[in-house]
Each structure stands twice: as C-alpha cells, then as structure tokens.
Amino acid sequence: MKHIIISIVLSAWLIINFAACDDFLSETPKGSVFEEQLETPENIEKLVITTYSALGNEHFQQPLSPWPYGNLRSGDAYKGGAGTGDMGDFHLFETFVYMRDNVGMLDRRWYQGYKAISRANTALEKLNVISNAELPTRDLRIAEVRFLRAHFYFDLKILFKHIPYVDETISVDEYKNISNRELTDKQGWEYIIQEFRYAADILKDPAGEIGRINKWMAKAYLAKALLYAAYEQDEKNNVINIDKGKLEEVVSLTDEIIASGRYNLADNFEENFLWETQNGKESIFAIQYSVNDGTMFGRLDFGAMLNYPMNSEYGCCGFHSPSQNLVNSFKTDNNGLPLFDSFNAASISTPSDLQNNNIDPRLLHSVAIPDMPYKYKPDFIFKESWTRQPETYGAFMSLKEVVLPDCPCFKKLLPFMSSSKNRDIIRFDDMLLWRAEALIELDRPAEALPIINTIRKRAAQSTTRLVDIEGKKTGKFVVEEYKPGVNSPVWDKSFATKALRWERRLEMALEGYRFFDLVRWGIAAETVNEYFAVEKTRRQYLNDAKFTKNRDEYFPIPKSQIDFSKKLYQQNYGW
C-alpha cells in the first residue's frame, strides 16, 4: 500500500509539472554558463584574465608565495607564529623529520596548481577555435596563457618533481590515464621550456598594459627554466650532469634582455620592496595586486597576510621569522667581503651589534631587528613585543613583503591584514645572478666577476633610508666589490662559485628561492644539516630536525592524489 500511494502521488506530480517541462528546459539555469557562451571574443578575453588571476588566488592558510616552501626548508627562516602547532604543516616543512605524504597543505597546494592549469587549458581550448579575424589578439593571448601555464607547472615541478602534464588537447575523461611518470624528470623540464620558448617567439615588446606578459618576461622565464633544467638529476635527486648547452642559452637569453634596455637595476635596493616604486625598471614579472577596486577585499597579497607584527598598528600574526644563521650571514670582514667561514661564530641581535660589526646593508632591508626603525620609518621602532613567541622563534621578522600601516596600499581584514604591493616573481638582479652562475659553470668565471660586483656596488650604496631619527646610519655598513689579489683570493671557478652562492643568499634573502637553489646545486642535505647542527643549540624546537638526503629535496606526492589516480601516480624516491 505504501508503494501504491507513492506511485499515485508521483504520477500526479508528473502530470501537473509536465506542461511546464518545455519552458523549464528552455531556460538557462542561473549561475550556469554554456560552452557556446564562452566562445565569444569578449568572453574568451575574460577567460584569459581568469588565468592571470590564478597567479594570486591564494589564502593565508595556503600561500602561493614561496616563503613557506623555500625559506623554512633552507635555514633562512623559522616558521614563527604561536608555537609549533600554529599552522603545524609549516612546522613539518621546516623540520623535515616528521614530514609525511598525507599533509593536508601539500594536497591543497597540488590542487591549487592544477586548478590554475585547468583555467589555462579552458582558455586555450576556446582560443584554438576562434579565428584571428574574430579576435585579432588571438595569437598573443595563446602565447600569454601558455606562459602562465608553464609558470604553474614550474612551481609544481620544483615542489614535487614528478608531476602529470595535461594540456587543452587532452579531454578531461583522459586525465585519469595520465601518470605523473608519463614524462621523465628531464622531459618534464623540456615540456616547460618549450612552453616558454613558444611564448618568447610569439609575444611582442610591452604595449603599455602593466602586468601583461611580454616577450622579455618570456625570455627571462625561459632562461630560468633552462638554468634549473641544466642541473640534471637521477631518480634519487643527485645532480649527475650539468648541461652546458642549456647554460649557453641562459647566457644568450640574458644577453638579449640586457641589450633590450627594457630593464636595469634600481638605483637603491629598497625600491624593489616599496609600494610607491613597484613596477620599476628592475621588475620583470610580478603579480599585480590591488586595493579598493570594487571587490569585497581588494586583490590583496594574501600570501603575506600572516607575516605582519603583533603591535596595535598591525595585529597579527608573527610568522616568517628570519633565522639567526641568516642574520649572521650578512656580516663582512674588514675588506667588506663575506665572512664565509666564520660568520656564524657570534651572533648579531641588537643595535649595538649592528654598530660593532661590519655588515651588509641588505640585512636591514630584509630583517626587522628589535629597537631598530621599522620599514624605513625612523620614529616607528620595532620591538621584541611585536613578535608572537620570541622564546621559541626569536625576535626577528621579515621585512620585504610588508608595508607601513599608513601606506595607501595597506588594508586590515581583522584580525588579519595585507596590502596591494606587488610580489616580484622575476627581477633583473635575480636574472643577473642566473647569468653569473651560468658563466661560472661554463668555466668563464672572469665574466661573472663584474656582474657580482655590480650587485655588491648597488648594495653598498643602498643606505640612504637606513637611518635613525637623528639621521645617523643604523649600522656599520661595509661592503666592497671583489678585487682578486687585492682583497680576495684568486678568482677561479671554485671561489667564484662560493661568492655567487653567497650573493644569491643575501640579495634574494627571505623571498622564497633559497631552498630551490640548494636543490639545484645538489647541496641541500649538507647545507641544511650543517645549519641544524648549530641552530638547534639556539632554538630548542629544532632538536629533532633532520634533512634526509635523497628524500627531502622534494615533497612527497600527496597520498590523496595517488589514491584518486587509483595508484597510477608513483611516489617520489624515499617516500
């Protein structure tokens, strides 16, 4: 009887509603977009914009910014925050030993990357079927989107090494059949290189639209991809060969970029980290953020949201604390050169230490030190009380990504805050150091010397804003260029390599690249474990920390992704 009643009611409902079915089926459901609606020139341009927007689609709990992945794992920074359990996945990144394949943040980072790639593939699918007559910018937009897709793949590759590659020609139904070992490690790099090469061949000079991908951005990212790919690794992540042909192309590409006159070093180092001088002559490729743009929060740098101090002008959250090891590395000798072997014997932590030791001024552009002016404002003094848990993570904080509270770019989203200051992905100084590195590896260290000296010369003169309220210098700034046979040893390949690697650490400090440099050079294990040996005497929470060679160079493939693939994906070596 129950089934009979249900059948009668259902039949009556069908009869009543049948007449309305035709009308219902002819209506476009609200919030839905049909394929043909996406294929207009206007909407295809919007699909390209959504791909650009994926550059900054992040959350403070899941940054795209490389600081948690490149600084915490390299010895340049401590996690910070309210103890080891606060954003605990970051703690696992930093200490390695308890890292595992089911860490939620790794799975989310993987998902983020492929969501961005999906946007690129959707845009490309539509761009491929529209004509140039309908969309005159078609070829340029294809090149832009392929550049962006290559960037998303680059980020995933340096994090996870073995990843699946899917493009717009592969149907979604086929994704399940593509392994993360479909391409070898070397072939994966070639895929990314060819994407940037395509973009470099098609794109043109900048046409006035700030942030729009141009050919010089593509050539620069191509040089970066070639540099990484040149250091060939075996399955255990050991560097087994350096491809000189790729390094030659790095030199050639950087030649072109320099000769273009499009970019140059800023007059002062700090111009790279101020809102009012963003998109300057040194910025090659940057994420373009915005505020008060008609959206709910603005297009803010959510990746830096946790990295502000705890004082009343800000409020939260005390993450990204520079390590004592990093701070000490900025010391110089009486010749104005790095203390390569003895830098870590004694520590710098107070204003008097800054006056009693020779230091590279890039320290105070990168690190907030107690009782020193904060972010170039002489009467705004950084205090230990501004930090979250100094007994665990020390009293330093990172400076490059933050802004002053009176910046028009600053916005509070209580209890958090951030800004619309851009984040550079590629800068001219970074590119110059790639060039120097390639030249040294090509046994041409003499040609790298003037490049490194140019970087050091700019550092030496970047002291104008490093003053106290009386206008006095806030440190004993002593930086000199390398003068072989005068203030430094013979400039051979061995010494040039040491100088180059040190320079990269100082110039790019706390920007998220250090760990990936160490992996590329094949020295991550010894560098990080040497750091732990001393730093755990300063920071008790590091007591168990240990880098396992042939495993920790890359994150594990997230377990949930292996499960979703029905075990088609293979785990990285050592995991």
- Does residue 41 form part of some domain? no
Q: Which stretches of 61-160 are assigned E, i.e. beta strand?
A: 77-80
Q: Is 38 domain-assigned?
A: no
Same domain? 495 vs 462: yes
CB atoms within 10 A of CB 500: 23
Q: Are residues 162 and 291 in the same domain?
A: no
H or E segment to which residue 285 belongs: strand 283-287
Angle between helices 104-127 and 88-95 (to 10 degrees): 100
Supply the pLDDT for residue 34: 52
Same-domain pairing of 111 and 236: yes
pLDDT tens digits for 80-139? 999 999 999 999 999 999 999 999 999 999 999 999 999 999 999 999 999 999 999 999
Ranges assigned E (strand) in 367-501: 367-368, 373-374, 377-381, 397-398, 410-413, 416-419, 423-427, 476-477
Tell me which residue has tokens 């030649």. Answer: 255
Structural domain count of the chain: 2
Q: Are residues 420 and 475 in the same domain?
A: yes
pLDDT tens sequence across 460-505: 999 999 999 999 999 999 999 999 999 999 999 999 999 999 999 9
d(CA 250, CA 256): 10
CB atoms within 10 A of CB 179: 12
Other Cβ atoms within 10 Å of 183 Cβ, number = 17
Domain match, 551 and 437 both: no
Task: Please check whether residues 198 and 145 belong to one and the same domain.
Answer: yes
Q: What is the pLDDT along the chain (575 residues), one digit of tens a residue?
A: 333 333 333 333 333 333 333 342 344 445 545 566 678 999 999 999 999 999 999 988 889 999 999 999 999 999 999 999 999 999 999 999 999 999 999 999 999 999 999 999 999 999 999 999 999 999 999 999 999 999 999 999 999 999 999 999 999 899 999 999 999 999 999 999 999 999 999 999 886 789 999 999 999 999 999 999 999 999 999 999 999 999 999 999 999 999 999 999 999 999 999 999 999 999 999 999 999 888 888 899 999 999 999 999 999 999 999 999 999 999 999 999 999 999 999 999 999 999 999 999 999 999 999 999 999 999 999 999 999 999 999 999 999 999 999 999 999 988 899 999 999 999 999 999 999 999 999 999 999 999 999 999 999 999 999 999 999 999 999 999 999 999 999 999 999 999 999 999 999 999 999 999 999 999 999 999 999 999 999 999 999 999 999 999 999 999 999 999 999 999 999 99
In this predicted structure, what is the pLDDT of residue 37? Answer: 67
Q: Classify residue 22: in a domain, yes or no.
A: no
pTM equals: 0.93
Residues in the chain: 575
Q: Residue 231: CA atoms inside 13 Å, Cβ hemisphere, count?
A: 20
For residue 14, being part of any structural domain is answered with no
Strand partners, 560: none
DSSP 8-state secondary structure symbol assigned to residue 62: B
Within this chain, do residues 249 and 290 fall inside the same structural domain, yes or no?
no
The answer to the question of residue 463 being in a domain is yes
What's the confidence (pLDDT) of residue 18? 35
Give residues with Cβ within 8 angstroms of 46, minimum separation 6: none
In a shared domain, residues 118 and 150: yes
Residue 203: helix, strand or coil by DSSP? coil
What are the DSSP calls for 470-534, one per residue?
TS-BSSEE------BTTTB----HHHHHHHHHHHHHHHTTTSS-HHHHHHHHT-HHHHHHHHHHH
Return the amino acid letter for 507: E
Whether 80 contacts 320, CB under 8 Å: yes
Q: Do residues 290 and 210 lie in contact, with contact meaning Cβ atoms separated by under 8 Å?
A: no
Say yes or no: 249 and 267 in one domain. no
The DSSP line for 526-556 is HHHHHHHHHHTTT-GGGTT----TTTTTSPP
Please tell me the predicted confidence (pLDDT) of residue 36.
62
Does the residue 42 lie in any domain?
A: no
377 burial via Cβ count (<10 Å: 0-12, 13-18, 19+): middle
Question: Assign residue 474 a region: left if phi > 0, alpha if psi is -120 to 50, beta otherwise?
Answer: alpha
| β-pair type (373-374, 283-287) | unpaired
For residues 284 and 195, state if they share a domain. Answer: no
pLDDT at 208: 72
Query: Is 5 within the bounds of a domain?
Result: no
Distances (CA, A) of 41 to 138, 139, 256, 516, 562: 9, 13, 34, 40, 38
For residue 71, the 8-state DSSP code is: I
Say if 190 falls within a structural domain. yes
User: What pLDDT is attached to residue 39?
Assistant: 82
84: domain range? 61-99+263-543
pLDDT of 24: 29
What Cα–Cα distance (Å) separates residue 571 from each residue in 188, 407, 453, 526? Answer: 16, 46, 43, 24
pLDDT at 22: 39
Residue 112 is part of a domain; what is its CATH number?
1.25.40.390
Tell me: do 434 and 566 sit in the same domain.
no
What is the structure's pLDDT at 33? 54
Residue 206: cis peptide before it, omega within 30 degrees of 0 = no
pLDDT at 13: 35
Report the SS3 class of residue 126. helix
Looking at the structure, tell me whether residues 331 and 376 fall in a common domain: yes
Q: What is the pLDDT of residue 35?
A: 61
